[in-house]
Amino acid sequence: MNTKIYVDNLAEAVTEADLLKLFSPFGHVSEVHIAVKRLGNKRRGFGFVTMVSPAGARAALQALNGHMIGTCTLTISETCPPENQANPARSQPQETR
């Protein structure tokens, strides 16, 4: 099962190829995406790396959280898969009358 990792505090100069190179030693990377603003195509300072192995993702999280890339310290966390996110409308008990 793929594990998606949120990578924050990316410098403007960091590319998707840089993230691929950084995460690859921990396992197979299936996707890398750096977020950009709709207007002006400017980078937003965060991105996502999807790894095939959950064990590789955990190893990358432990090794790279707080890692310096350029002049920025990365903040890395695992994103929640959609099936594990609570739906607020469904989490409230329904009142019956």
pLDDT greater than 50 at residue 93: no
pLDDT band at 73 (very low <50, low <70, confident <90, very high): very high
pLDDT score recorded for residue 43:
81
CA distances from 83 to 31, 45, 74, 80, 86 (A): 20, 27, 27, 8, 8
pTM, full prediction: 0.77
* 43 contacts 35 by C-beta, under 8 angstroms: yes
Q: Which residues contact 11 (CB under 8 A, 6 or more apart)?
A: 69, 70, 71, 72
pLDDT band at 81 (very low <50, low <70, confident <90, very high): low
Render pLDDT for 8-58 as a digit per residue (tens, 0 to 9): 999 988 999 999 999 999 999 999 999 988 877 788 889 999 999 999 999
Secondary structure class of 59 (helix, strand, coil): helix
